[in-house]
Amino acid sequence: MDNPEMQRFLQQEQQKAMLGEMVGKLTSVCWDKCITSTPGSKFSSGETTCLTNCAQRYLDMSVLIAKRFEMQ
Protein backbone atom coordinates (compact mmCIF):
# COMPACT_ATOMS: atom_id res chain seq x y z
CA MET A 1 0.00 0.00 0.00
CA ASP A 2 1.46 3.31 -1.04
CA ASN A 3 -1.23 5.54 0.45
CA PRO A 4 0.07 6.90 3.81
CA GLU A 5 -3.42 8.02 4.87
CA MET A 6 -4.81 4.54 4.35
CA GLN A 7 -1.89 3.00 6.25
CA ARG A 8 -2.47 5.41 9.14
CA PHE A 9 -6.20 4.62 9.13
CA LEU A 10 -5.58 0.86 9.14
CA GLN A 11 -3.07 1.20 11.96
CA GLN A 12 -5.56 3.21 14.03
CA GLU A 13 -8.29 0.63 13.44
CA GLN A 14 -5.93 -2.17 14.42
CA GLN A 15 -5.06 -0.31 17.64
CA LYS A 16 -8.77 0.18 18.41
CA ALA A 17 -9.39 -3.52 17.92
CA MET A 18 -6.47 -4.44 20.17
CA LEU A 19 -7.70 -2.04 22.86
CA GLY A 20 -11.19 -3.52 22.67
CA GLU A 21 -9.77 -7.02 23.02
CA MET A 22 -7.64 -5.93 25.98
CA VAL A 23 -10.62 -4.36 27.75
CA GLY A 24 -12.62 -7.55 27.19
CA LYS A 25 -9.89 -9.75 28.64
CA LEU A 26 -9.30 -7.35 31.51
CA THR A 27 -12.99 -7.34 32.37
CA SER A 28 -13.23 -11.12 32.24
CA VAL A 29 -10.08 -11.83 34.25
CA CYS A 30 -10.70 -9.24 36.94
CA TRP A 31 -14.42 -10.04 37.23
CA ASP A 32 -13.68 -13.74 37.75
CA LYS A 33 -10.98 -12.94 40.29
CA CYS A 34 -12.76 -10.25 42.32
CA ILE A 35 -16.50 -10.82 42.16
CA THR A 36 -17.36 -13.84 44.24
CA SER A 37 -21.13 -13.48 44.46
CA THR A 38 -23.92 -11.90 42.46
CA PRO A 39 -23.37 -8.16 42.87
CA GLY A 40 -26.12 -5.95 44.17
CA SER A 41 -26.52 -2.35 43.09
CA LYS A 42 -22.95 -1.58 44.24
CA PHE A 43 -19.68 -3.43 44.60
CA SER A 44 -18.37 -3.95 48.10
CA SER A 45 -15.29 -1.97 49.10
CA GLY A 46 -13.23 -5.17 48.90
CA GLU A 47 -14.50 -5.89 45.39
CA THR A 48 -13.80 -2.31 44.30
CA THR A 49 -10.26 -2.47 45.66
CA CYS A 50 -9.67 -5.86 44.05
CA LEU A 51 -10.98 -4.68 40.67
CA THR A 52 -8.83 -1.54 40.79
CA ASN A 53 -5.68 -3.46 41.72
CA CYS A 54 -6.35 -6.21 39.19
CA ALA A 55 -6.90 -3.72 36.37
CA GLN A 56 -3.74 -1.78 37.29
CA ARG A 57 -1.59 -4.93 37.38
CA TYR A 58 -3.04 -6.11 34.07
CA LEU A 59 -2.30 -2.78 32.39
CA ASP A 60 1.19 -2.59 33.90
CA MET A 61 2.01 -6.06 32.59
CA SER A 62 0.60 -5.21 29.15
CA VAL A 63 2.88 -2.17 28.95
CA LEU A 64 5.86 -4.21 30.15
CA ILE A 65 5.22 -6.91 27.55
CA ALA A 66 4.77 -4.33 24.78
CA LYS A 67 8.07 -2.66 25.70
CA ARG A 68 9.80 -6.05 25.75
CA PHE A 69 8.63 -6.77 22.19
CA GLU A 70 9.77 -3.32 21.02
CA MET A 71 13.31 -4.10 22.17
CA GLN A 72 13.53 -7.30 20.12
Asked if 57 and 34 touch (Cβ cutoff 8 Å), the reply is no
Q: Please tell me the pTM assigned to this model.
A: 0.64
Asked if 30 and 23 touch (Cβ cutoff 8 Å), the reply is no
Query: How confident is the model at residue 32, as a pLDDT?
Result: 92
Q: What residue ranges do the domains of the chain occupy?
A: 4-71
Query: How confident is the model at residue 72, as a pLDDT?
Result: 61
Spell out the per-residue pLDDT of the chain, length 72, in tens: 578 899 989 988 988 888 888 888 888 999 999 998 887 888 999 999 999 999 999 889 888 888 887 776
| CATH 1.10.287.810 holds for 4-71 | yes
Query: How confident is the model at residue 54, as a pLDDT?
Result: 94
